[in-house]
Amino acid sequence: MKRYSIKMRASNETDGVKNHISGAEKIVTENELEEYCASLMKRALYHSKGKPDFINIKVEEIKEEELLYLPALKVTRVETENDAEGRQVVASYLEKLGISRVDEIISIWEQSYSMRGAILLDADTLERLEPDKERGIRATYMDMDTGNAQRSRSCEEKNHFNEALVLATKVVNHPNILAELCISDDPDYVTGYIASKETGYVRITKLKPFGSPNGGRVFLFRGNDKEKEECIKYLQEQKVLVRMNEVQ
Ligand code: PML
Ligand code: MG
Report whether pLDDT(114) > 90: no
CA 218 to chain centre: 10
CA gap 131, 167 in Å, rounded: 21
Which is nearest to 182 in space by CA: 221, 210, 216, 206?
Answer: 216
Q: Which atom from ligand 1 is nearest to the alpha carbon of 186?
A: 2
pLDDT value of residue 232: 98
Handedness of CA 91, 93, 95, 100 (dihedral sign): negative
Q: Determine the average pLDDT of the residues in 101-121.
A: 95
For residue 184, the CA-to-ligand 2 centroid distance in Å is 6
Would the CB of 113 count as within 6 Å of ligand 1? no
pLDDT in tens, 67-98: 999 999 999 999 999 999 999 999 999 999 99
Does the CB atom of residue 193 touch ligand 1 within 6 A? yes
Task: Give the separation between CA 241 and CA 167, rounded to whole angstroms.
Answer: 10
Ligand 1 atom 1: residue of nearest CA: 184
Q: For the segment 25-67, what is each residue's pLDDT rounded down to a tens digit?
A: 999 999 999 999 999 999 999 988 889 999 999 999 999 999 9
Residue 243 scores a pLDDT above 70: yes
The ligand 1 atom nearest the CA atom of 201: 11
Q: How far apart are CA 127 and CA 205, in angstroms?
A: 29
Q: Of ligand 1's atoms, which has the minimum distance to the CA of residue 165? A: 11
CA atoms of 44 and 156, how far apart (whole Å): 8
Cα→Cα distances 207→31, 107, 149, Å = 39, 14, 32
